[in-house]
Chains A and B, each alone.
Chain A
């Protein structure tokens, strides 16, 4: 284990495995150069033990002359000086000389080798042709080889090789060389495998003993390092590095165990106080000084670590991994600091900083030395950590040595400096000539304040630039902030400001509250020193409202503002504007009234709720908000106020410091095309885009308005909300403003500011939008029914509402209503008017005086202030128009029937409706107000004419279509023309009856006459009615006029069904005879003449009739002709008989088939059927009795539409074609006596199936 100082081999690390040469030195010398050249030319595969991967390896060797000294003595573990192969060279070719000297020499050589247990040897016999020529009596060459093999290579014949003509350029020579070289390489590798394997086994054994007392890490270190050296020698840097890494890990683990209380004895040697801190030394391949210390067991922890790292660094650079060096270096430096702490090694204060600083720079220099500039620039991320670390450490040193204070170092600081410099020792020879060595830098930096500043700034700026270059802006700013602290310490706030500003901006933009507070505090100090009052106050305001600070600190900053504000400045009117957001946070704004919509001059209050962020109560001289006024846009009255909810509250978004940006306020828009209202576009808009966009732009921070907004003072003329002398208590406050409402329009709150002495806290934009509207209104009169439907014919209450608007109702003002006969105003004694305020509160009530004259009704109004509501009720009665069926018309109050407004009368769910117009003269207008009231007629009446032979009956059906029940009395039917011969006789029924809602009452009168029956009859139905639920209601009359025409019966139709001959009854399926006889009952009179087509033939006047037999119920099958024409003589009692055959299809009492008679009009007569508007449509005289009410309703509605068509006229002939026409008779003109008659039909005799229909 001795390494001689004089051996330079280790320094250069250009070691090669040692191969000794014995025998003929001259011979070897001649071959030496080719051998050293040839050997590394080809690689050889090295198969290794312990499953390690085989490697191709280029072998080199250091050929030295064999000496016994070279062989390792027992126990010497050195591997570098270990001769791996021994070669004996000879060119002996004759047996004599061999026997004489060579054999003996080899013998001696072998003995020495055996003595040292070396098995790696080779005997080379060089054959030379020249020599052969000289000696003629040579033996075959093999004989010498054989002899040597025989003598020495017992079973190892490969230990002896021949080399032929090595100095000649022949193929034989080349072949010989190559096999020789292969042999040498193989043997070398065999030797490596064997010797290294043995070495490793020994080493492992040694390591296993580490728990034994007396085990030394340093000894073990050197042993394993030996292995590393050999690997390095073999260019196996990776393997070499592994050895060091293992040592590193082993040591680290020991230190950790020590920290955990499991200390090893040998570690004690590393716990000595640190006396030297001269940093890493990476310029030498092997730092022998430190290695010696390790060898002697005197190395300190830092020295061991330094040495280990320098070796790792060397190997990593060999491996082309410089960036691993930097990351390992940083780790090492951190680790060393930790380890020293863990081992509780005493270190002079600052010594470690020196060591780290020097080491960082040394590593950086080493890396710079082996990389070019572009590589360095591409790998800043690997080096910047070291730069920063060095910067930090230099700053620590500066602080320690008093180099950063304004006053410079004191004597104590100087002593510290001297102590620190002493620990650096002298500069190493490697860097002595370099101007920029870490050693020189540190020494210079510690020498003076100025030099320190220079170096510190240089490092800081370098680090910052590097961080910026790789985009690590936060790190750059942190370095910058540190630099700012340095400047502040030096009393140079000017230089510090920018760095602080930039850092602050970064923290604000990412909402890191604690760094914000901290940096802001530094900023405040900086600004104070710079006398930037406005900025300082702004920062102070922010700090005073900062919850991260203690109360005392906040009060301090608050006091700073208050002091400034109360201080009168020399410059008059010098005001400072600060952000209101730092003083207080707006929370809510409430409108009273909540609608935020008032009339001109009305009181509108705004309650502002804000949270004062200041730690103390703040006396605010004036809190005001500027208001922007915009004239009312006529079209834009219904615009939606954003952010203003229906409760009249605007909630300000909580500007939490954490929310980066205001929340996106999106709303949907749809655009409709103006022409047809179709959707032309739809989309989303962002309502607060301006805020979002402003936030993106990082150049202007919301929190720190550097330039005061120019709109600090408002012109006096502008509208303002003002509140004077407000005390804002910390926390929630509520302030009431009275809003200006002098003009109609829209008022928008724009800015808000609070004046505290000279300081104004300003909010440049109030967001969300706060608006209120002031309106001016024209007076307005409306009349509304109190109930859903006004009923005609009954007194009804209507409500008059007057919105006074801007008009003041003065004494003597009255409403003048034009009177009308149709709708008189009923003068009720208790008529009072209510006056309501705009918010709906009752203000007063007064009796209304109503004076009616012939033409007008005058309602004198009570005094009412503007923007109030006047309400009163009035009873009106709308008379039911008597003959609604004829004249459905709107009426004006002047009694004229307005024929043009017919369409105004509608049938609304079966109710006739009367639109009654009212004309009112109002005091505020010279024009009359025309209002419309809709009355519903409660009844609907229908009449019908019924016949029984020649007797006539009139039926009147009155339906109550309203929702009210009525009592009906004195139903009367009178004949208007008072024809004496006609008498209407009521048929039974009570005189008074109750008509429930939606029900009908029928009454029947028989019409009797003497002499000729009347052709037309003008009738009036009248009844008294009153609401049934009120007992003493006034009975009001109801009248219904109608006209009956062609009353008398002209034809009588009889029919008989007779069973077939020989049968007593009809049978199903058997033909029966139907005999129809038509009889004319009366002479034609004038009225008939025009409708009946009379034919004069042979002195006899006849008329043509058409009959038709059909059965709608499919009871009968009509066989043969079912219809036909007959010519009827126009004479009373003229009879015509028609016979036809019918067949019953069912058994039972079957009704007779329908027999209908029409007028037959030949083609030449005008096809236009004169519409008979009011004749009854029933041609079957009794059919009404069978029909339900619905059917009547249907016919009524048919009639009402004015569409008259003949019932039974099956096919409508196209107009204008000269086709024969049939036309029905008016109701009552034809009496069919078989209507409702039945005939018994027995089942067919051969029917076996009885069909029963149960319905």
Chain B
């Protein structure tokens, strides 16, 4: 049914409004949001989403098959945003906040965004001058994130 109706309707859609990388100890390693909206609000949102991330991580242990699944799916929706989570094997968390009105983003696209983010994060970690646990200041990482937040036409 949905397939019948879906057409490529992605016209000037913001992909993500906020992207955050959170350390194992739950402090932010990197957080960036679209400048038009309140940065603070996203900080609160991302911080609160850690509750669900933790819940999901601890739940993952129950199902062995899921242990290798890093994508945590939709953490929680709010009226305006959808918050998605992803956790690396070293328990570094990625959180992507998407505008609720942005319905063109399907699960697969979110997954691929996380994958890209993870790859770039791995590059950051491989940098011998990067101290694990420090704030991420890599320009390459920044540009990857910026590309995910840019308006896609």
Q: Which residues of A contact B (CB under 8 A)?
A: 246, 249-250, 253-254, 256-257, 259-262, 330-331, 333-334, 337-338, 341-342, 381, 385, 389, 467, 470-475, 478, 507, 510-515, 518, 658-660
Tally A-B pairs: CB < 8 A. Answer: 83
Q: Is the CB of A330 within 8 A of B1?
A: no
Q: Would you list which residues of chain B between 68 and 106 have a CB under 8 Å from chain A? A: 76-79, 100-101, 103
B27 within 8 A of partner (CB)? yes
Q: How far is the CA of A478 from the CA of B40 in the complex (A)?
A: 13
A331 and B77 in contact (CB under 8 A), knowing A341-B101, A515-B43? yes
A250 and B1 in contact (CB under 8 A), knowing A385-B76, A658-B134? yes
CB-defined contacts of A333 to chain B, threshold 8 Å: 79
Q: How far is the CA of A471 from the CA of B58 in the complex (A)?
A: 12
Q: Is the CB of A260 within 8 A of B78?
A: no
- Majority SS at the chain A contact face: helix
In the complex, the chain B residue whose C-beta lies closest to that of A352 is B79
Q: Is the CB of A249 within 8 A of B47?
A: no
Which one of A259, A337, A341, A658 has the greatest number of beta carbons of chain B within 10 Å?
A658
CB-defined contacts of B134 to chain A, threshold 8 Å: 658
A515 and B9 in contact (CB under 8 A), knowing A472-B51, A472-B52, A658-B27? no
A660 and B27 in contact (CB under 8 A), knowing A474-B51, A507-B47, A514-B39? yes
A334 and B27 in contact (CB under 8 A), knowing A250-B5, A474-B48, A478-B44? no
Q: Is the CB of B25 within 8 A of A334?
A: no
Q: Is the CB of A511 within 8 A of B27?
A: yes
In the complex, the chain A residue whose C-beta lies closest to that of B135 is A658
Q: List 8 A-B contacts (CB under 8 A).
A: A246-B1, A256-B103, A331-B77, A471-B55, A475-B48, A512-B27, A515-B47, A658-B135
Contact of A334 among B44, B47, B79 (CB under 8 A): B79
B63 within 8 A of partner (CB)? no
Q: Is the CB of A474 within 8 A of B77?
A: no
Q: How far is the CA of A393 from the CA of B50 in the complex (A)?
A: 23
In the complex, the chain A residue whose C-beta lies closest to that of B26 is A510
CB-defined contacts of B6 to chain A, threshold 8 Å: 253
Q: Is the CB of B5 within 8 A of A257?
A: yes
CB-defined contacts of B25 to chain A, threshold 8 Å: 510, 660
Q: Is the CB of B55 within 8 A of A512?
A: no
Q: How far is the CA of A640 from the CA of B45 in the complex (A)?
A: 49
B11 within 8 A of partner (CB)? yes
B2 within 8 A of partner (CB)? yes
Q: Would you list which residues of chain B between 23 and 66 have a CB under 8 Å from chain A? A: 25-28, 39-40, 43-44, 47-48, 50-52, 54-55
Q: Is the CB of A510 within 8 A of B47?
A: yes
Q: Is the CB of B9 within 8 A of A478?
A: no
A342 and B101 in contact (CB under 8 A), knowing A510-B25, A658-B134? yes
CB-defined contacts of A512 to chain B, threshold 8 Å: 27-28, 43, 47
Contact of B5 among A253, A385, A467, A472 (CB under 8 A): A253
Q: How far is the CA of A515 from the CA of B78 in the complex (A)?
A: 19
CB-defined contacts of B52 to chain A, threshold 8 Å: 472
CB-defined contacts of A342 to chain B, threshold 8 Å: 101
Contact of A249 among B2, B39, B54 (CB under 8 A): B2
Q: How far is the CA of A843 from the CA of B54 in the complex (A)?
A: 71
CB-defined contacts of B133 to chain A, threshold 8 Å: 659
Q: How far is the CA of A510 from the CA of B27 in the complex (A)?
A: 5
In the complex, the chain B residue whose C-beta lies closest to that of A331 is B77
B4, chain A: closest CB distance, angstroms: 8
State the 6 A-B residue pairs at the shortest beta-carbon distance, nearest first. Answer: A472-B51, A511-B27, A253-B5, A260-B9, A514-B43, A510-B26
CB-defined contacts of A472 to chain B, threshold 8 Å: 51-52, 55
CB-defined contacts of B2 to chain A, threshold 8 Å: 249, 253
Q: Is the CB of B40 within 8 A of A515?
A: yes
Q: How far is the CA of A473 from the CA of B55 in the complex (A)?
A: 11
Q: How far is the CA of A333 from the CA of B6 in the complex (A)?
A: 23
Q: Is the CB of B40 within 8 A of A518?
A: yes
Q: How far is the CA of A467 from the CA of B76 in the complex (A)?
A: 14
Q: Is the CB of A511 within 8 A of B47?
A: no
A475 and B51 in contact (CB under 8 A), knowing A334-B79, A337-B79, A658-B134? yes
B153, chain A: closest CB distance, angstroms: 13
With A472-B55, A510-B47 already in contact, 19 other A-B pairs whose C-beta atoms are closer than 8 Å: A256-B9, A256-B103, A331-B77, A334-B79, A334-B100, A338-B101, A342-B101, A470-B55, A471-B51, A474-B48, A474-B51, A478-B44, A511-B27, A511-B28, A512-B43, A514-B40, A515-B47, A518-B40, A658-B135
Q: How far is the CA of A1181 from the CA of B55 in the complex (A)?
A: 105
In the complex, the chain B residue whose C-beta lies closest to that of A247 is B1
Q: How far is the CA of A615 from the CA of B5 in the complex (A)?
A: 59
A260 and B79 in contact (CB under 8 A), knowing A341-B101, A472-B51, A512-B27? no
CB-defined contacts of B55 to chain A, threshold 8 Å: 381, 470-472
Q: How far is the CA of A1120 from the CA of B9 in the complex (A)?
A: 125
Q: How far is the CA of A1254 from the CA of B115 in the complex (A)?
A: 83
Q: Is the CB of A334 within 8 A of B78?
A: yes
In the complex, the chain A residue whose C-beta lies closest to that of B49 is A474
CB-defined contacts of B100 to chain A, threshold 8 Å: 334, 338
Q: How far is the CA of A260 from the CA of B135 in the complex (A)?
A: 39
CB-defined contacts of B101 to chain A, threshold 8 Å: 259, 338, 341-342
CB-defined contacts of B76 to chain A, threshold 8 Å: 385
Q: How far is the CA of A260 from the CA of B47 in the complex (A)?
A: 33
A227, chain B: closest CB distance, angstroms: 14
In the complex, the chain B residue whose C-beta lies closest to that of A478 is B48
Q: Is the CB of B50 within 8 A of A474?
A: yes
A145, chain B: closest CB distance, angstroms: 49
In the complex, the chain B residue whose C-beta lies closest to that of A507 is B47
Which one of B2, B25, B48 has the greatest number of beta carbons of chain A within 10 Å?
B48
Q: How far is the CA of A976 from the CA of B76 in the complex (A)?
A: 117
Q: How far is the CA of A1233 from the CA of B51 in the complex (A)?
A: 112
A354, chain B: closest CB distance, angstroms: 14
B57, chain A: closest CB distance, angstroms: 12
Q: How far is the CA of A877 from the CA of B152 in the complex (A)?
A: 96
Q: How far is the CA of A338 from the CA of B101 in the complex (A)?
A: 6
In the complex, the chain A residue whose C-beta lies closest to that of B8 is A260
A481, chain B: closest CB distance, angstroms: 8
Binary contact readout B110-138 vs A (1 if CB under 8 angstroms, 0 otherwise): 00000000000000000000000111000
CB-defined contacts of A467 to chain B, threshold 8 Å: 51
Contact of A257 among B9, B50, B54, B79 (CB under 8 A): B9
Q: Is the CB of B47 within 8 A of A474?
A: yes
CB-defined contacts of B79 to chain A, threshold 8 Å: 333-334, 337-338, 389
CB-defined contacts of A659 to chain B, threshold 8 Å: 133
Q: How far is the CA of A338 from the CA of B78 in the complex (A)?
A: 11
CB-defined contacts of B40 to chain A, threshold 8 Å: 514-515, 518
CB-defined contacts of A256 to chain B, threshold 8 Å: 9, 103
Q: How far is the CA of A515 from the CA of B46 in the complex (A)?
A: 11
Q: How far is the CA of A256 from the CA of B28 in the complex (A)?
A: 35
Q: How far is the CA of A331 from the CA of B100 in the complex (A)?
A: 10
In the complex, the chain B residue whose C-beta lies closest to that of A473 is B51
In the complex, the chain B residue whose C-beta lies closest to that of A510 is B26
CB-defined contacts of A507 to chain B, threshold 8 Å: 47
Q: Is the CB of B5 within 8 A of A260?
A: no
B23, chain A: closest CB distance, angstroms: 8
Q: How far is the CA of A262 from the CA of B5 in the complex (A)?
A: 12
CB-defined contacts of A475 to chain B, threshold 8 Å: 48, 51
B147, chain A: closest CB distance, angstroms: 23
CB-defined contacts of A246 to chain B, threshold 8 Å: 1
In the complex, the chain B residue whose C-beta lies closest to that of A208 is B4
CB-defined contacts of A338 to chain B, threshold 8 Å: 79, 100-101
Q: How far is the CA of A250 from the CA of B6 in the complex (A)?
A: 10
Q: How far is the CA of A470 from the CA of B39 in the complex (A)?
A: 28
A391, chain B: closest CB distance, angstroms: 13
Q: Is the CB of B11 within 8 A of A260?
A: yes
Q: How far is the CA of A619 from the CA of B75 in the complex (A)?
A: 51
In the complex, the chain A residue whose C-beta lies closest to that of B58 is A471
CB-defined contacts of A261 to chain B, threshold 8 Å: 11
In the complex, the chain B residue whose C-beta lies closest to that of A337 is B79
Q: How far is the CA of A1 from the CA of B25 in the complex (A)?
A: 63
Q: Is the CB of B27 within 8 A of A249?
A: no
Q: How far is the CA of A342 from the CA of B77 in the complex (A)?
A: 18
